[in-house]
Chains A and B, each alone.
Chain A
Amino acid sequence: DAGVIQSPRHEVTEMGQEVTLRCKPISGHNSLFWYRQTMMRGLELLIYFNNNVPIDDSGMPEDRFSAKMPNASFSTLKIQPSEPRDSAVYFCASSETGAKNIQYFGAGTRLSVL
């Protein structure tokens, strides 16, 4: 398997623009997680899905952030409108139920909002 695939790897945008990050989990994994990593705050869980259903979105910073998982092989994290403080590395991870919650991470998307 190719692992968790995220796109794009890098995104540079201007404040106010919409940003969409994409994730393809490992086939057969039924849990998907979105994280944000910054030097100041470390690794933060934003939202996670089980079987395509959002379970906990308490980490989503505000209404500008939204996430969807329309099917088992695709998820998006959208920021609209983007702000400079959203600049961070965003990771997607997936795991398999019954596999001790071991998570497999994508390579991340480095977002810079100017």
Chain B
Amino acid sequence: SQQGEEDPQALSIQEGENATMNCSYKTSINNLQWYRQNSGRGLVHLILIRSNEREKHSGRLRVTLDTSKKSSSLLITASRAADTASYFCATANPQAGTALIFGKGTTLSVSS
């Protein structure tokens, strides 16, 4: 079964609002990553948080990790229409070698 499960499956907001997406996983991890996929394109790496980190920032992105709850959240602040995309969490875990396990993604729509 999928390691990462994103919630919600779909999210619609207005420009300027914040968007929060959540990810849950099942096994121990080395790190957790978030990727973005624009329509018709490949996935693009956004940010990585290690298992011993609790929070990380990159520009308008903020990621938190709670290993006790096996969950992570991605916050996009002051969203823009260009943020419209699908967002996936992916976990790197000791049992999976160099592979990542991706969730099914959250589709974010930002309207202007």
B88/A105 in contact, CB under 8 A? no
- Bits for A3-45, please: 1 = Cβ < 8 Å to B, else 0: 0100000000000000000000000000101000000001101
Report the Cα distance A26→B92, complex, angstroms.
20
> What 13 additional pairs, Cβ within 8 angstroms, besides A42-B2, A43-B105?
A33-B99, A42-B105, A43-B43, A43-B88, A43-B104, A48-B97, A55-B99, A56-B97, A100-B31, A100-B48, A100-B50, A101-B98, A103-B90
Interface residues on A, range: 20 to 34
B33–A102 CB distance below 8 A: yes
A31 to B105, Cβ gap below 8 A? no
User: How many Å lie between the Cα of A95 and that of B99 in the bound state?
Assistant: 9
CB of B57 within 8 Å of the partner chain: no
Contact A45 B43 (CB under 8 A): no
Q: Chain A binding site: helix, strand, loop or mixed by DSSP?
A: strand
- In the complex the two chains form, is B102's CB within 8 Å of A43's CB? yes
CA distance A107 to B91 in the complex (A): 22
Contact B99 A100 (CB under 8 A): no
Mask of A93-109 contacts with B, CB within 8 angstroms, 1/0 = 10101001111111110
Contact with B along A68-112 (1 / 0, CB 8 A): 000000000000000000000001010101001111111110000
A50 within 8 A of B: yes
B12 at the interface (CB under 8 A from A): no
Nearest B residue to A55, CB-CB:
B97
Interface string of B63-106 (1 = CB under 8 A from A): 00000000000000000000000001010100001111111110
> What is the 8 Å Cβ interface bit string for chain A, positions 44-78, against chain B (1 contact, 0 not)?
01001010000110000000000000000000000
Closest to A39 in B: B104
- B60 interface contact, C-beta 8 A: no
B93 to A: closest C-beta gap in Å? 10
